[in-house]
Amino acid sequence: MHQDSQQNWLRLHLTAGLGRIGINKLIATFGSATEALKQSRHEWTRQANLTSKRIGTPPALNEPIFVKAWDNMLRCHARIISLWDKDYPSQLRTIHDPPALLYIRGELPQARYFAIVGSRHATPDGARFAREIAGQLSEYNICIVSGLARGIDAAAHIGAMQGQGSTVAVLGCGIDRVYPAKNRDLFKQIEQQGAIISEYPPGTEPHAGHFPARNRIISGLSEGALIVEAADNSGSLLTADFALDQGRDVYAAPGSVYNANCQGNFQLLKQGAILVTATKDILQNLNIAEQVVARQSPLNYSAAQLNEKQKIVLNILQPTPLHLDQLAQQSGLTPMDVSAIVLHLELEGLASALPGGRYIRGFAG
């Protein structure tokens, strides 16, 4: 898409009061963003049946609201894909309320897509399960979709990127925002090994009301959704509801009866969700023949492939948890450096993150 087309889509999207339905009506009437912008608001009302008096005037190229959003897009190397573009994700196009516009950082993988979501307050077992399932699915060219949240989402993204896997993170804010900020290093890694996407224009803050809409995109992109550790009335159950409405299969891990964050999983299983205790449960339902894949034990990863700073942190890590600040103090490195290093070690299966900014050597179990 040429720069002027990108700018025209952004101008439409920044038009106060227009929204997704309004953009759909304009394109159905005038054929393109460029042609729609040539028309007056009177013509929008007359020809496209836009009746809201709250619809404003599209910002000009030199107006601050446009300049700031466009500059942020350029800084992030982001681009816009519209619902009417041939490279718009085919699965997402089939839902009844697809986003009119998607903002993309990175490259959308050419693969089958599968969602893994769950509690932000993951147990070590839950995080390990999400990471292992994601990693094993990625070996079958399945891209893992999740929401970049703490806990299960982050574990799923990390698992997918072990080896040559790919992943897509869907945001509930603008493409230029990292939320939560703690996942900044993970955000950067996902951009390199997959894509970050949002339906919100640059500059949009992560308001609570955005996340249910974000969840419909996570499930809409995917052939199915696995729920790991979901509490009653959690956002992950909303993702499951969206998946069912969209005709996707819902999968659930059993979890512990003593874990409050698994009560939603039990609800799903009682309602007919597909029980998942191993990757083969998903592969069979996706009609993918399970292959014998030789997997090197993560802890056999050659230390020779780490740089000196990474080796220092790895040698400090223990089976007992250490806080990020402790790792920084003992290594003599800055907390920012250590944060990037432990993410790399997680991606290689050499370390695991625990709640509270703590880390251990190897898998949490």
Domains of the chain: 3-75 (no CATH), 106-285 (3.40.50.450), 298-361 (1.10.10.10)
By the 8 A CB rule, do 189 and 347 touch? yes
- Phi, psi of 353, deg, nearest 5: -90, 140
Question: pLDDT for 209-227, tens place per residue?
Answer: 899 999 999 999 999 999 9
CA angle 235, 168, 259 (to 5 degrees): 35
R_g of the chain computed on alpha carbons: 22
Tokens of 270: 């009682």
Q: Provide the 8-state DSSP code for 60.
A: P
By the 8 A CB rule, do 167 and 156 touch? yes
Rounded to two decimals, the pTM is 0.84
Give every CB contact of residue 273 below 8 A, 6+ residues apart in sequence: 227, 240, 250, 251, 252, 265
Mean of pLDDT values over 235-259 = 94
Give every CB contact of residue 212 below 8 A, 6+ residues apart in sequence: 235, 238
Question: pLDDT for 92-120, tens place per residue?
Answer: 999 999 999 999 999 999 999 999 999 99
Whole-angstrom Cα distance, residue 30 to residue 112?
34
Q: Provide the 8-state DSSP code for 58.
A: P
Handedness of CA 26, 29, 31, 35 (dihedral sign): negative
Please give the order of strands across the beta sheet that includes 101-106: 79-82, 101-106, 194-198, 167-170, 142-146, 112-118, 224-228, 249-252, 274-275
Of the listed ranges 47-56, 144-153, 271-280, the one predicted with least confidence: 47-56
Q: Is the pLDDT confidence value at 353 over 80? A: yes
Question: pLDDT for 19-34, tens place per residue?
Answer: 899 999 999 999 999 9
User: What pLDDT sits at residue 256?
Assistant: 86
User: What pLDDT sits at residue 292?
Assistant: 55
Q: Is the pLDDT confidence value at 319 over 90? A: no
Q: Provide the 8-state DSSP code for 261.
A: G
Whole-angstrom Cα distance, residue 274 to residue 270?
10
Q: Sorting pLDDT into bands at 50, 70 and 90, what band is 302?
A: low
Q: Is the pLDDT confidence value at 300 over 50? A: no
CA angle 92, 176, 248 (to 5 degrees): 20
User: What pLDDT sits at residue 217?
Assistant: 98
**Which segments within the chain are labelled E, that is strand?**
79-82, 101-106, 112-118, 142-146, 167-170, 194-198, 224-228, 249-252, 274-275, 322-323, 351-354, 358-361
The pLDDT mean for the chain works out to 90
User: What pLDDT sits at residue 345?
Assistant: 85
Q: Sorting pLDDT into bands at 50, 70 and 90, what band is 69?
A: very high
- Grouping H, G, I as helix, E, B as strand and the rest as coil, residue 356 is coil
Mean of pLDDT values over 257-284 = 94
